[in-house]
Structure 1
Protein backbone atom coordinates (compact mmCIF):
# COMPACT_ATOMS: atom_id res chain seq x y z
CA UNK A 1 0.00 0.00 0.00
CA UNK A 2 1.30 3.42 -0.91
CA UNK A 3 1.21 6.41 1.45
CA UNK A 4 -1.35 8.01 -0.88
CA UNK A 5 -3.63 4.97 -0.66
CA UNK A 6 -3.32 4.93 3.14
CA UNK A 7 -4.10 8.66 3.32
CA UNK A 8 -7.17 8.15 1.12
CA UNK A 9 -8.32 5.37 3.46
CA UNK A 10 -8.01 7.73 6.45
CA UNK A 11 -9.81 10.54 4.63
CA UNK A 12 -12.61 8.23 3.52
CA UNK A 13 -13.11 7.03 7.11
CA UNK A 14 -13.23 10.61 8.38
CA UNK A 15 -15.66 11.70 5.70
CA UNK A 16 -18.03 8.90 6.68
CA UNK A 17 -18.33 10.32 10.21
CA UNK A 18 -17.92 14.01 9.29
CA UNK A 19 -19.23 14.40 5.72
CA UNK A 20 -18.97 18.21 5.73
CA UNK A 21 -15.35 18.23 6.91
CA UNK A 22 -12.82 20.21 4.90
CA UNK A 23 -9.95 17.75 5.17
CA UNK A 24 -7.67 19.95 3.07
CA UNK A 25 -7.72 22.46 5.94
CA UNK A 26 -6.47 19.89 8.47
CA UNK A 27 -2.68 19.98 8.92
CA UNK A 28 -1.13 16.48 8.69
CA UNK A 29 0.16 16.52 12.28
CA UNK A 30 -2.86 18.22 13.89
CA UNK A 31 -5.21 16.27 16.12
CA UNK A 32 -8.31 16.32 13.97
CA UNK A 33 -10.75 15.41 16.76
CA UNK A 34 -11.01 19.04 17.89
CA UNK A 35 -10.60 20.56 14.43
CA UNK A 36 -13.46 18.49 13.03
CA UNK A 37 -15.45 18.65 16.27
CA UNK A 38 -15.65 14.87 16.60
CA UNK A 39 -17.19 13.65 19.82
CA UNK A 40 -16.20 10.33 21.36
CA UNK A 41 -18.85 8.40 19.44
CA UNK A 42 -17.75 9.96 16.16
CA UNK A 43 -14.16 9.04 16.92
CA UNK A 44 -15.10 5.45 17.76
CA UNK A 45 -17.08 5.21 14.51
CA UNK A 46 -14.01 6.50 12.63
CA UNK A 47 -11.81 3.88 14.33
CA UNK A 48 -14.26 1.11 13.43
CA UNK A 49 -14.45 2.22 9.79
CA UNK A 50 -10.66 2.48 9.58
CA UNK A 51 -10.31 -0.95 11.21
CA UNK A 52 -12.64 -2.53 8.68
CA UNK A 53 -10.99 -0.79 5.73
CA UNK A 54 -7.53 -1.78 6.94
CA UNK A 55 -8.51 -5.33 7.79
CA UNK A 56 -7.15 -5.11 11.33
CA UNK A 57 -8.72 -4.21 14.65
CA UNK A 58 -7.34 -0.98 16.09
CA UNK A 59 -6.86 -1.47 19.82
CA UNK A 60 -7.59 1.27 22.34
CA UNK A 61 -3.86 1.58 23.05
CA UNK A 62 -3.39 2.52 19.39
CA UNK A 63 -5.98 5.33 19.37
CA UNK A 64 -3.36 8.07 19.93
CA UNK A 65 -1.58 6.86 16.79
CA UNK A 66 -4.62 7.46 14.59
CA UNK A 67 -5.68 10.95 15.72
CA UNK A 68 -3.71 12.81 13.04
CA UNK A 69 -3.69 12.31 9.29
CA UNK A 70 0.05 11.63 9.27
CA UNK A 71 -0.13 9.30 12.27
CA UNK A 72 -3.04 7.28 10.94
CA UNK A 73 -1.39 6.99 7.53
CA UNK A 74 1.87 5.80 9.12
CA UNK A 75 -0.06 3.35 11.34
CA UNK A 76 -1.78 1.78 8.32
CA UNK A 77 1.45 1.53 6.34
CA UNK A 78 3.38 0.05 9.28
CA UNK A 79 0.65 -2.54 9.77
CA UNK A 80 0.99 -3.54 6.13
CA UNK A 81 4.78 -3.68 6.29
Structure 2
Protein backbone atom coordinates (compact mmCIF):
# COMPACT_ATOMS: atom_id res chain seq x y z
CA UNK A 1 0.00 0.00 0.00
CA UNK A 2 1.18 3.51 -0.76
CA UNK A 3 2.25 5.95 1.92
CA UNK A 4 -0.49 8.28 0.69
CA UNK A 5 -3.83 7.02 1.94
CA UNK A 6 -7.25 8.57 1.67
CA UNK A 7 -8.96 9.32 4.96
CA UNK A 8 -11.47 6.52 4.30
CA UNK A 9 -8.70 4.03 3.53
CA UNK A 10 -6.80 5.06 6.65
CA UNK A 11 -9.95 4.64 8.76
CA UNK A 12 -10.49 1.15 7.35
CA UNK A 13 -6.86 0.16 8.01
CA UNK A 14 -7.07 1.44 11.59
CA UNK A 15 -10.33 -0.36 12.37
CA UNK A 16 -8.99 -3.56 10.79
CA UNK A 17 -5.83 -3.31 12.92
CA UNK A 18 -7.98 -2.93 16.03
CA UNK A 19 -9.94 -6.14 15.36
CA UNK A 20 -8.99 -8.71 17.92
CA UNK A 21 -8.74 -6.04 20.60
CA UNK A 22 -12.43 -5.16 20.32
CA UNK A 23 -15.57 -6.51 18.71
CA UNK A 24 -17.01 -4.95 15.57
CA UNK A 25 -19.82 -3.50 17.70
CA UNK A 26 -17.33 -1.90 20.10
CA UNK A 27 -15.34 -0.47 17.18
CA UNK A 28 -18.52 0.90 15.57
CA UNK A 29 -19.49 2.59 18.86
CA UNK A 30 -16.01 4.04 19.42
CA UNK A 31 -15.99 7.82 19.15
CA UNK A 32 -13.44 9.09 16.64
CA UNK A 33 -11.72 11.23 19.29
CA UNK A 34 -11.88 8.72 22.14
CA UNK A 35 -8.48 7.60 23.47
CA UNK A 36 -7.91 4.12 22.05
CA UNK A 37 -5.79 2.75 24.87
CA UNK A 38 -8.35 3.70 27.51
CA UNK A 39 -11.48 2.87 25.54
CA UNK A 40 -10.23 -0.55 24.43
CA UNK A 41 -8.13 -1.28 27.52
CA UNK A 42 -4.96 -1.73 25.45
CA UNK A 43 -1.85 -2.49 27.47
CA UNK A 44 1.63 -1.68 26.14
CA UNK A 45 1.97 -4.97 24.25
CA UNK A 46 -1.48 -4.63 22.70
CA UNK A 47 -0.66 -1.10 21.56
CA UNK A 48 2.66 -2.24 20.09
CA UNK A 49 0.84 -5.00 18.22
CA UNK A 50 -1.63 -2.40 16.88
CA UNK A 51 1.28 -0.20 15.73
CA UNK A 52 2.91 -3.17 13.99
CA UNK A 53 -0.35 -4.00 12.21
CA UNK A 54 -0.62 -0.39 10.99
CA UNK A 55 2.96 -0.51 9.75
CA UNK A 56 2.48 -3.80 7.89
CA UNK A 57 -0.77 -2.63 6.30
CA UNK A 58 0.48 0.79 5.20
CA UNK A 59 4.26 0.67 4.96
CA UNK A 60 4.32 3.89 6.97
CA UNK A 61 7.25 4.02 9.37
CA UNK A 62 6.00 4.52 12.91
CA UNK A 63 8.65 5.42 15.47
CA UNK A 64 8.11 5.34 19.21
CA UNK A 65 8.13 9.14 19.17
CA UNK A 66 5.04 8.95 16.90
CA UNK A 67 2.97 6.92 19.39
CA UNK A 68 1.24 10.00 20.91
CA UNK A 69 -0.03 10.78 17.40
CA UNK A 70 -1.89 7.44 17.44
CA UNK A 71 -4.08 8.23 20.43
CA UNK A 72 -7.50 8.13 18.72
CA UNK A 73 -9.04 7.08 15.43
CA UNK A 74 -8.94 10.72 14.24
CA UNK A 75 -5.31 11.25 15.24
CA UNK A 76 -4.33 7.94 13.59
CA UNK A 77 -6.07 9.03 10.38
CA UNK A 78 -4.21 12.36 10.50
CA UNK A 79 -0.90 10.59 11.04
CA UNK A 80 -1.41 8.03 8.28
CA UNK A 81 -2.65 10.57 5.73
CA UNK A 82 0.05 13.17 6.41
CA UNK A 83 2.36 13.90 3.52
CA UNK A 84 5.81 12.34 3.76
TM-score (norm 2): 0.84
Are 1:26 and 2:34 counterparts?
no
Asked whether 1:56 is paired with 2:60, we answer yes
Ranked by relative contact order (alpha carbons within 8 Å, sequence separation 6 or more), the top structure is 2
Number of aligned residue pairs: 79
Which stretches in structure 1 are left out of the alignment for 5+ residues? none
Runs (4+) off by over 4 Å: none
Q: 1:56: Cα distance to partner?
A: 2.1
Map 1:1-81; keep pairs closer than 5 Å. 1-15=5-19, 17-20=20-23, 22-79=26-83
In 1, the alpha carbon distance for the partners of 2:65 and 2:33 equals 19
Structure with the higher fraction of residues in helix conformation: 1
